[in-house]
Amino acid sequence: MWVAEILLQQTQVARGLEYYDRFLSAFPTVEALAAAPEADVLKAWEGCGYYARARNLRRAAGVVAARGFPQDYAGWLALPGVGSYTAAAVASLAYGEARAVNDGNVRRVLARLYAQTAPTDAWVQARADELLDPARPGDWNEAVMDLGATVCIPKAPRCPACPLRASCAAFASGTPTAFPAPKVRAAAREVRAVAVIVGDAEQAVLERREGTLLGGLSGLPAEELAAGESPQTGLARLCARLGAEPGAHLGTVTHAMTHRHVTLDVYAARSAAARTPVAEAALSRLDHKALALLASWQGGLFGTP
């Protein structure tokens, strides 16, 4: 349950089920997860994104392996990477503690029930606490979350099938989708960067990235470009750092993340640096897109094509 709640925070259910099975196959016990090298945990998480979740799961597993599983909300909340939603979900579902969950589905159900256009987190939590069935908190939480996920959906809600329709102020208004009003999201930051492939799709030079461009993950050597900086200038800086000779421009790939849109110019390069088996590393989708450029490259990598 704990792993599932963490996994599904930023991952769609259909995709999450695949990753869930793979992760538990690799680490069937909390002791196995706690003892695993971080690189192995990240590899098992590969493709799921938001890798801080995997790191925190491993850290929390170390605490649980040493002290045992927490038995209440406060204990779960104290674990690395566990917020109020996950702590409430696990405490109510596993231990029957009267804690109401507050997630996007719950927010939408309650905002429509009371016709609130801009409910604050505090307001949602207060209403959820008021309505919670203390005798069956886990069932209640699951019911409200499932209602939001399957019936009271963001667009085209299935109001005729909703058990709360008779009490729903948003339904009575005739415009249920007006509640809650869509959040104004900040525009994604445009990031330009260069990366080099030293090696091939099987064995390549990889390094642990720092900074804002997928920091903390292993990946192709890369440099983020400053505003107005050309890819050629960034490539020269990157190759100087690596002691590498630049080669052909293999192409450009893009990748959209929650708060950033990355445009990556990918070049071949050569150096004597040690290669790492690509299959053993946890790489981002951006890196996989970059490596895929080699498969379609027709010319020479160095010198005149």
What are the DSSP E strand ranges found in 61-198? 189-197
CA distance 304 to 35: 50
Contact 286/262 with Cβ under 8 angstroms? yes
The first and second tokens of residue 179, run together, are: 């509640």
How many angstroms separate the Cα of 277 from the Cα of each of 38, 164, 235?
A: 17, 55, 24
**How far does the chain reach from its first CA to its final CA, in angstroms?**
55
The first and second tokens of residue 144, run together, are: 């409200």
Residue 296: Cβ within 10 Å count: 8
How many angstroms separate the Cα of 301 from the Cα of each of 106, 272, 296?
A: 54, 16, 12
How many angstroms separate the Cα of 39 from the Cα of each of 29, 42, 283?
A: 18, 5, 11
5 is catalytic: yes
What are the DSSP E strand ranges found in 171-295? 189-197, 203-204, 207-208, 218-219, 222-224, 245-256, 260-270, 276-277
Catalytic residue (choose from 5, 46, 97, 223) = 5
Enzyme catalytic residues: 5
